[in-house]
A and B are shown apart, each in its own frame.
Chain A
Amino acid sequence: MEVRGLRAGYGSNEVLKGVTARFLEKAVTAIIGPSGCGKSTLVRCLNRMHETAPGTTMSGQVVLYGRDVLSLDPVVLRRHVGMVFQRPNPFPNMSIFDNVASGLVLNGIAGGRSELEGRVEASLRQASLWDEVKDRLRRSALGLSGGQQQRLCIARALAVSPNVLLLDEPCSALDPIATARIEELVLELKKQLTIVIVTHNMQQAARVSDFTAFMLLGELVEFSATGTIFTKPSDKRTEDYVTGRFG
Chain B
Amino acid sequence: MSAEALARPENRPALKAIPVAGPREQAGDRLFRWSLLLFALSVVVLAGLVAWKLIAGSLMTWKAFGWRFLFSSAWDPVNDKFGALPFIYGTLVSSALALLLALPLGAGSAIFLAELAPRRVSDVCTFLIELLAAVPSVILGLIGIFALAPFLSAVEPWLTKRLGFLPLFQGAPYGVGMLAAGIILALMILPYITIVSREVLLGVPRPLKEGVLALGATRWEMVTRVSLPYSAPGIAGAVFLSLGRALGETMAVTMVIGNTPKISASLFQPGYTMAAVIANELAEAVSDLHLQSLIAIGLTLFGVTILVNAAARLMLLRLSKRHS
A76 and B216 form a contact (CB under 8 A):
yes
A52, A90, A156 — most chain B CB neighbours (10 Å): A52
B216 and A107 form a contact (CB under 8 A):
yes
B229 and A93 form a contact (CB under 8 A):
yes
What residues of chain A lie closer than 8 Å to B221, measured between beta carbons? 106
What residues of chain A lie closer than 8 Å to B230, measured between beta carbons? 92-93
B264 CB to nearest chain A CB (Å): 42
A52 and B208 form a contact (CB under 8 A):
no
Report the interface size class on chain B.
Answer: 20 to 34
> B207: nearest residue on chain A (CB-CB)?
A89
The proximity string for A residues 96-130 relative to B, scoring 1 for CB distances below 8 Å and 0 otherwise, is: 00000011001100000000000000000000000
B324 and A79 form a contact (CB under 8 A):
no
The proximity string for B residues 181-211 relative to A, scoring 1 for CB distances below 8 Å and 0 otherwise, is: 0000000000000000000000001111111
What residues of chain B lie closer than 8 Å to A47, measured between beta carbons? 214
Alpha-carbon separation in the docked complex, A87 to B210 (Å): 11
Q: Which one, B208, B217, B218, B324, contacts A89 given CB within 8 A?
A: B208
Q: How many residues of A contact B (CB 8 A)?
A: 29
Q: Is the interface of B mostly helix, strand, loop or mixed?
A: helix
B210 and A102 form a contact (CB under 8 A):
no
> B214: nearest residue on chain A (CB-CB)?
A83
Task: Knowing A54-B119, A140-B324 are in contact, say whether A78-B216 is a contact too (CB < 8 A).
Answer: yes
B residues 208-240 in Cβ contact with A at 8 Å? 208-218, 221, 225-226, 229-230
What residues of chain B lie closer than 8 Å to A156, measured between beta carbons? 211, 215
A89 and B211 form a contact (CB under 8 A):
yes
A102 and B213 form a contact (CB under 8 A):
no
A53 within 8 A of B: yes
Alpha-carbon separation in the docked complex, A107 to B225 (Å): 13
A160 within 8 A of B: yes
Alpha-carbon separation in the docked complex, A82 to B324 (Å): 27
A185 within 8 A of B: no
Alpha-carbon separation in the docked complex, A54 to B207 (Å): 13
What residues of chain B lie closer than 8 Å to A49, measured between beta carbons? 210, 213-214
B208 and A53 form a contact (CB under 8 A):
no
What residues of chain A lie closer than 8 Å to B12, measured between beta carbons? none
Q: Which one, B213, B229, B323, contacts A52 given CB within 8 A?
A: B213
Task: Knowing A93-B229, A106-B217, A106-B225 are in contact, say whether A85-B210 is a contact too (CB < 8 A).
Answer: yes
Alpha-carbon separation in the docked complex, A21 to B200 (Å): 41
Task: Knowing A89-B210, A93-B229 are in contact, say whether A160-B119 is a contact too (CB < 8 A).
Answer: no
A102 and B225 form a contact (CB under 8 A):
yes
A57 CB to nearest chain B CB (Å): 16
A91 within 8 A of B: yes
B113 CB to nearest chain A CB (Å): 14
Alpha-carbon separation in the docked complex, A54 to B122 (Å): 13
User: Other than the known A76-B216, A91-B211, what 14 A-B pairs have Cβ atoms closer than 8 Å?
Assistant: A49-B210, A53-B206, A75-B216, A79-B216, A90-B211, A91-B226, A95-B324, A102-B215, A106-B216, A107-B215, A107-B216, A140-B324, A153-B211, A160-B215
Residues of chain B having any CB pair with chain A under 8 Å: 119, 205-218, 221, 225-226, 229-230, 323-324
Residues of chain A having any CB pair with chain B under 8 Å: 47, 49, 52-54, 75-76, 78-79, 82-83, 85, 87, 89-93, 95, 102-103, 106-107, 139-140, 153, 156-157, 160
Q: List 7 A-B contacts (CB under 8 A).
A: A49-B214, A78-B215, A82-B215, A83-B214, A89-B207, A93-B323, A103-B216
